[in-house]
Structure 1
Amino acid sequence: MTPKRKTTAKIGPLGRQFRGVQPQGAYTADLFWRAFKESLVKFQPRVQIRNPVMFVVWVGSLVTLALTIEPNLFGPSSASRGYNGVVMAILVLTVWFANYAEALAEGRGKAKAAALRRTRSDLVGVRILDDGRKQTVPARDLRKDDVVRVEKDHVMPADGEVIEGAAYVNEAAITGESAPVLKEPGTDIFSSVTAGTTVISDWLLIRVTTNPGDTFLDRMIHLVEGAKRQKTPNEVALTVLLSVLTLIFVIVVASIAPVAAYLQAQINIADLVALLVALIPTTIGALLSAIGIAAIDRTMRFNVLAMSGKAVEAAGDVQTLILDKTGTITTGNREANDFIAVAGVQQSDLVQAAFLASYFDTTPEGRSVISCSVARGAEPAVGLDQAKGLDFSAQTRMSGIDLGDGRVIRKGAVSAVVRHAADEFHASPPADLQAIADRVSKMGATPLAISVDGDILGIVVLSDTLKPGIRERIEQLRKMAIRTIMVTGDNPITAQTIAAEAGVDEFVAEVNPEEKLRLVRREQSEGRLVAMTGDGTNDAPALAQADVGLAMHSGTMAAKEAANLVDLDSDPTKLTDLVAIGKQMLITRGALTTFSIANDVAKYFAIIPAMFIVALPGLAALNVMGLATPRSAVLSALIFNALIIPLLIPLALRGVHFRVETAANLFSRNLWIYGVGGLIAPFIGIKLIDFLIAPLV
């Protein structure tokens, strides 16, 4: 018999956030220093041009640098070298603050990538050749389908599937969880191993499933590096919008020069550059990339590996959550606690048959049936060494044993066992079988029928319980207008009972992998974004089809490759947490965009009057801030424009606080905070800066 797997229930970090507790990040002095150095590297034009808004500021800093060297470069100017130099310095700082925000967001990902690279570079494997000889080779020389033997205390050199042996593996290097996991062949989700993990007992023979560069470790390295990040669709759309706004302001500012000439007002080129920079949405342009990178990093800190920013963004827009009952809504620790025999059958016979049916069943449920039946007096039968086990499958929904004496014993869903008895032995079910099964189902338990040569002896009762707080979390999802669908292989009566207790909107019982795929497509055909979880090879098609597919790290390689998110803790309830992460990213992006545009309106009242007040004294009425001089007004607006970026970096990295409420309420609240706040803050900030610098200019 295989050892029992120890499982522990976990509360995801965002599960805590639902209760008002924000996860904390570790920003160290070393991280700040590395971000500083990286921010200087980002001054390269090929890096700057990727951000059109900040590229305009970068070009403006070059123009004012030229004017600092030669003030009359573009014609007569009243601006001194010192004034132009100050404008140039403020613009350089503005670009640097944007670079620093992005570098700081990337910092933790790059630190994680560096640690993973060190792990990968040291890996070696013992390859088993066709003639049986062993060959020690670097991990980079291993190829798909190679067979490798990994001994105790050795590190797994590549991703693979266990084909022989059984051992405990420490996956802390990948998951951060030090509790060992039992790996053995033929268990679907517990036969998958990952490069970088350590065997801490016995040995394993694995078949490599990936080529160098495609391992899970390689994928983690690429994905946690912000430099490798692809922009999400919404981020691309917002970048295009910001670029269009910037282009419009470039045209508007360029047209001011001939207007000024007509009015016989002398306009300094440095002032025009300052006006342009103050009016374009530099705040959101500087922080947009950092917001996206921070959201991906946030999922990483929650032990979820995002295959792309698009997956995190899509999680924020999800409208339907497909949740598996076992392990997501319930604890997943279904245990046998009773045996109910049909009329005319001794319970001892049912208990013994249940023991034999589960003899080769290595699943937690199978082990619990063994334990419960042994406690009720079951004993091993003679000739088990000649018996053949039948593994459970989603199609047959049965498992069992074919004994050496010819007896066929099956255990599984009641309808599946009844169909097996009719098809293989032309036997009819006992008259009271369905009544017993219905009674068990109405209690929220799962009935499993036991048959011997087509004769159904009775029911094994598997009990499961709802996860603590799951009903409250589903209610929170409903408040966010997210529809929940529970899927389960259980019969409809059990499914209906659990669904009512959990409060889900809909349930689908007795599902197989094909029906999960059809369910995802049905929801998508009705215009909804769909998220679901899975861990087996049979879940891969539905995971690939879903807009957000969350695979368990303990699952098969096929499931992890099909999904766009991988939970390293293998906790299916993380799906509800990811919805909040995605919504927080979208809310943060929207809030800072609103704040940035509102800022520009206020800065208009600072700079425009300052530029034309000499030629058009009537514009003094627009100087509502009462700024001291035209030059102090321009410099105050520029300084505020630069300083607001580092002041908002913590908010961009942490995210706007997410509350579980309707989209209308969220929009209204954030519009007041960041819209009205964005209008008021510049008036206060620019006036204060003007008060401080007026005596100096």
Structure 2
Amino acid sequence: MNKQIRSENTSAFLQPEAWKNACIKLLPQHAFKNPVMAIVWLGTLITFFSTLMGAVNLLFGLSVTLILFITVLFANYAEAVAEAKGRGQASSLRAARQNLTARRLSSVHDTQAVQIAATDLKKNDLIEVRAGEIIPSDGEIIEGFATINEAAVTGESAPVLREAGTDHSGVIGGTKVLTDRIVVQVTAEAGNSFLDRMIALVEGSNRQKTPNEIALGILLTVMTVTFILVVVTLPFISHFLGIRIDPVLLVALLVCLIPTTIGGLLPAIGIAGMNRALKANVIAKSGKAVEVAGDVDVLLLDKTGTITYGDRQATAFYPVAGVSESELRQAAVMTSLADPTPEGKSIVALAKELGDRINEPVNAEFIAFNAATRISGVNLQEGQQIRKGAMDAILKFVGQKEDHTELRTRVEQVASKGATPLVVARDQTLLGVIELSDVIKHGIKEKFARLREMGIKTVMVTGDNPLTAAAIAAEAGVDDYIAEAKPEDKLECIRKEQQSGHLVAMVGDGTNDAPALAQADIGLAMNSGTQAAKEAGNMVDLDSDPTKLLAVVEIGKQQLITRGALTTFSLANDISKYFAILPALFVVAIPEMQVLNVMQLGSSQSAVLSALIFNAIVIPLLIPVALRGVKFKPSTSTQLLRKNMLIYGVGGVILPFIAIKAIDMVITQIMSV
């Protein structure tokens, strides 16, 4: 998102709207969505009416009522602040698509466009968009190419290139065409566009609780019900002991027994997890996707664009014996004149640098690259067939069953350097090898080392031959690689890892990646990719940066760690509160209970008030932690557990003892005055 929206989100704590929504959540239809805080809210009403009926000292009763009310309000405020972040982002997205119109075509070659409202567009409609205009709906470019400003969605002002017939043909409604003219086929019905779904997600209206969140919610509910039964039985027990317990004290005991801190922060933690993903310009289609990312233990990564820059350039030509370098270059150029890829263009450019004259063939049939055959080329008018591609594919094309020793030597020499060899053939004659060089991304080896520390296995998938794949895998520091991979090989690899009990993540942008993206536990689709890829994945990277998958895993782990740390802290707090409340209830009738008064609190009333005040103020103090997330450093699960138990477990026990005692001293001083 852009800087303005991020600034607005940062000031969400100061927005009156957050307090307004916190008050709205006090209404029954909202309050009972959180069982733990609903009990606190009911307890507030009980103490209020008990105080009015004279069941307890007026000042003490009103003080307890006010503290309980503030506790509920702070819990609602935590969720309201998290939601406020999403509403700020949604406002920016809505502004990107207001009052849009479209020029609808009856066919690709239609010159008479009909002007209609963007909301009237239907799936598969054809629309024309020119330079300076806003794209009215999601779609695929089926004719032309253009540079597009996607700042309204991604916050990035640098234009991007989108082109028909490539894996970068997808466009989003609300983005602006800067140059040229494109014809777009609409891929989404009105109200179901990418922006519509983004708005619903960031506002939280479509937020579904994650499996872990549901499980924790059930646990908290069971604990709450159990403590309710315990507290309800206390009046009967006290009757036989000759002790009278005020309803206000019973409510105070219940509130301190149940896990109010995590109960109040749990919704905010879930919302904040998706917000953190969005801050990284990743749209998670559900909270479950963010959470599962934290459990992933196998990453499947394409080599090109992820591990390397993907801008492979031709750097040398190696002809076989009996073939001149000029002959090899001319054949390579013929196969590349209609090749739109950077590799194809670089072959033509290198040949020009070496002094070759480029003569385009007449009435030639160009053969586009196919991922299944791994070959591209041209059929000339005079009947010659020229092809370039992987060695095994070219050998199959020329019909040679035996390996060509010299050719294999050339291929191995190129591959051993980490470059990609392309073999060129004309009819049944092998001509030589083109060397395509790529560069490993800076810092990628350190990123893989971080993942290895977290116990995550990295697998590089590439169409390169085994020698090239091995050289790049060693340089990049991945754990494993799959060479000469076809699209179906990715799917097979994912299934194999899943059958072994692993959770797998992968990144993709093309239509042929869609099956694997759908099969993976985490499928990160590129925003620049095809609509099929974005529909198949459960996350979309607005920056179209394949290495973002590494950040997604860390976001997911931070989500799990944050929930676990705050749950540990909340439950540890309860131990200290027991030592404050229990002696206050029974010490008068049972003097032996004084042994539990380890904090030496001033009186039963000050003990109750101190525990409740701490219970109330700890929630807003932890809101920043819930929203920002617990600081995360790569380490094993055992190390993380040990660290959290030390900081949030032991710390969660010690801090309340100190805080409650300090609050009690202040209250005692005030009461004495």
What TM bracket, shorter-length normalisation? over 0.9
State the secondary structure of the residue aligned to 1:101: helix
2:159 paired with 1:183: no
Contact 1:429–1:455 under 8 Å retained in 2: no
Contact 2:96–2:175 under 8 Å retained in 1: no
Contact 2:337–2:360 under 8 Å retained in 1: no
Identical-residue share of aligned pairs (%): 53
> 1:31 Cα deviation (Å)?
6.0
Question: Which amino acid is the alignment partner of residue 37 of structure 2?
Answer: M
Q: Which residue does the alignment assign to 2:3? A: none
2:116 paired with 1:137: yes
Contact 2:302–2:507 under 8 Å retained in 1: yes
Structure 1 residues 468-500: Cα deviation after superposition (integer angstroms, max 9, x where no partner): 121121112111111111111100111111112
2:659 paired with 1:682: no
Q: Which residue does the alignment assign to 1:62? A: 45
> 1:428 Cα deviation (Å)?
6.9
Question: Which amino acid is the alignment partner of residue 310 of structure 2?
Answer: G
Q: Which residue does the alignment assign to 1:594? A: 568
Contact 1:409–1:451 under 8 Å retained in 2: yes
> 1:183 Cα deviation (Å)?
2.2
CA distance in 2, matches of 1:216, 1:31: 31
Residue of structure 1 aligned with 2:140, choices 148, 161, 167: 161
> 1:555 Cα deviation (Å)?
0.7
Residue of structure 1 aligned with 2:390, choices 413, 433, 455: 413
State the secondary structure of the residue aligned to 2:434: strand
Alignment map for 1:399-548 (pairs within 5 Å): 399-422=376-399, 430-548=404-522
Q: Which residue does the alignment assign to 1:150? A: 129
CA distance in 2, matches of 1:100, 1:511: 51
Residue of structure 1 aligned with 2:288, choices 310, 317, 320: 310
Residue of structure 2 aligned with 1:370, choices 348, 356, 363: 348
Contact 2:335–2:378 under 8 Å retained in 1: yes
2:30 paired with 1:51: no
> 1:25 Cα deviation (Å)?
9.2
The 3 A distance-change label for structure 1 pair 669 and 41 is same
Structure 1 residues 350-374: Cα deviation after superposition (integer angstroms, max 9, x where no partner): 1111111111111122222221122
Q: Which residue does the alignment assign to 1:8? A: none
Q: Which residue does the alignment assign to 2:624? A: 650
2:303 paired with 1:292: no
The 3 A distance-change label for structure 1 pair 524 and 653 is same
Structure 1 residues 20-78: Cα deviation after superposition (integer angstroms, max 9, x where no partner): xxx9995126863322222122112121211111111111112122223323xxxxx3x
Structure 1 residues 653-697: Cα deviation after superposition (integer angstroms, max 9, x where no partner): 111111111111111111011000000011011111111112444
CA distance in 2, matches of 1:429, 1:402: 25
Structure 1 residues 488-535: Cα deviation after superposition (integer angstroms, max 9, x where no partner): 110011111111222222111111111110100000000011111111
State the secondary structure of the residue aligned to 1:120: coil
Contact 1:442–1:497 under 8 Å retained in 2: yes
Q: Which 4+ stretches in 1 moved above 3 angstroms?
A: 23-26, 129-133, 426-431
Contact 2:299–2:505 under 8 Å retained in 1: yes
Alignment map for 1:182-331 (pairs within 5 Å): 182-187=161-166, 189-331=167-309
Question: Which amino acid is the alignment partner of residue 596 of structure 1?
Answer: S
CA distance in 1, matches of 2:360, 2:626: 68
> 1:262 Cα deviation (Å)?
1.4
Structure 1 residues 131-169: Cα deviation after superposition (integer angstroms, max 9, x where no partner): 754222221110011111112111000011112222211
Alignment map for 1:393-404 (pairs within 5 Å): 393-404=370-381
The 3 A distance-change label for structure 1 pair 31 and 165 is farther
> 1:388 Cα deviation (Å)?
2.2
Residue of structure 2 aligned with 1:692, choices 652, 666, 673: 666
Question: Which amino acid is the alignment partner of residue 507 of structure 2?
Answer: T
CA distance in 2, matches of 1:662, 1:536: 34
CA distance in 1, matches of 2:360, 2:274: 57
CA distance in 2, matches of 1:287, 1:279: 17
Q: Which residue does the alignment assign to 1:95? A: 72
Structure 1 residues 183-242: Cα deviation after superposition (integer angstroms, max 9, x where no partner): 22112x222111011011122111111111221111111111124211000111111111
CA distance in 1, matches of 2:88, 2:105: 35
State the secondary structure of the residue aligned to 1:266: coil
TM-score normalised to the size of structure 1?
A: 0.93
Contact 2:12–2:84 under 8 Å retained in 1: no
Question: Which amino acid is the alignment partner of residue 94 of structure 2?
Answer: R
Contact 2:314–2:347 under 8 Å retained in 1: yes
Contact 1:70–1:81 under 8 Å retained in 2: no
CA distance in 2, matches of 1:559, 1:204: 21
The 3 A distance-change label for structure 1 pair 67 and 460 is same
CA distance in 2, matches of 1:692, 1:462: 75
CA distance in 2, matches of 1:415, 1:135: 51
Q: 308-317 or 107-116: which moved more?
A: 107-116
Gapped regions of structure 2 (runs ≥ 5): 1-5
Q: Which residue does the alignment assign to 2:587? A: 613
Q: 507-516 or 38-47: which moved more?
A: 38-47
> 1:409 Cα deviation (Å)?
1.5
Question: Which amino acid is the alignment partner of residue 689 of structure 1?
Answer: I
CA distance in 2, matches of 1:303, 1:207: 26
CA distance in 2, matches of 1:262, 1:479: 59
Gapped regions of structure 1 (runs ≥ 5): 1-22, 72-76
Structure 1 residues 306-326: Cα deviation after superposition (integer angstroms, max 9, x where no partner): 111111111100111111111
Question: Which amino acid is the alignment partner of residue 112 of structure 1?
Answer: Q
State the secondary structure of the residue aligned to 1:156: coil
CA distance in 2, matches of 1:479, 1:30: 36
Residue of structure 2 aligned with 1:37, choices 1, 17, 20: 20
CA distance in 2, matches of 1:58, 1:303: 37
State the secondary structure of the residue aligned to 1:432: helix
CA distance in 1, matches of 2:397, 2:66: 81
Q: CA RMSD in A?
A: 1.7
Contact 2:614–2:659 under 8 Å retained in 1: yes
Q: Which residue does the alignment assign to 1:15? A: none
Structure 1 residues 556-600: Cα deviation after superposition (integer angstroms, max 9, x where no partner): 100010001111111111111111111111111111111100100
Contact 2:13–2:81 under 8 Å retained in 1: no
Q: Which residue does the alignment assign to 2:96? A: 119
Residue of structure 2 aligned with 1:341, choices 294, 319, 340: 319
Q: Which residue does the alignment assign to 1:74? A: none
The 3 A distance-change label for structure 1 pair 452 and 166 is same
Q: Which residue does the alignment assign to 1:5? A: none
CA distance in 2, matches of 1:597, 1:431: 70
- Tell me the matched-pair count: 664
State the secondary structure of the residue aligned to 1:450: strand
Contact 1:471–1:502 under 8 Å retained in 2: yes
Residue of structure 2 aligned with 1:84, choices 61, 64, 79: 61
CA distance in 1, matches of 2:7, 2:13: 17
Q: 401-410 or 457-466: which moved more?
A: 401-410
Question: Which amino acid is the alignment partner of residue 189 of structure 2?
Answer: N
Q: Which residue does the alignment assign to 2:361? A: 383
2:328 paired with 1:350: yes
The 3 A distance-change label for structure 1 pair 492 and 458 is same
CA distance in 1, matches of 2:425, 2:535: 38
